[in-house]
């Protein structure tokens, strides 16, 4: 049986954790929260690896040149 609950008081969270420690219940992360965390992580990484339009253009041109050279030879 599965229930979704919203914890309003931190004491309830502790009670649930205690029940999980006694192997009476299993606590699983909400998949929506997991998705949001994954997106946040990707956004942080993207912010660090910020690529410029010039760099993108250079990469596209290099790939096109390589492809074009392969068709000639």
Domain boundaries along the sequence of the chain? 10-72
Is the model's pLDDT at 73 over the cut of 70?
no
Is the CB of residue 27 less than 8 Å from the CB of residue 15?
A: no
Residue 25 CB neighbour total at 10 angstroms: 13
Q: What six digits make up the tokens of 42?
A: 């990707």
**pTM for this structure?**
0.41
Is the CB of residue 13 less than 8 Å from the CB of residue 7?
A: yes
**Which comes out higher in pLDDT, residue 37 or 15?**
15
Is the model's pLDDT at 19 over the cut of 90?
yes
Q: What is the mean pLDDT of the chain?
A: 87
């Amino acid at each position: 049986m599965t229930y979704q609950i919203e914890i309003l008081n931190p004491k309830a969270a502790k009670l649930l954790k205690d029940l999980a420690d006694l192997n009476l219940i299993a606590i699983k992360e909400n998949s929506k929260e997991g998705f949001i965390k994954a997106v946040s992580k990707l956004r942080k990484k993207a912010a660090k690896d910020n690529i410029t339009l010039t760099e993108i253009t250079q990469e596209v041109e290099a790939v096109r040149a390589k492809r074009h050279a392969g068709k000639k030879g």
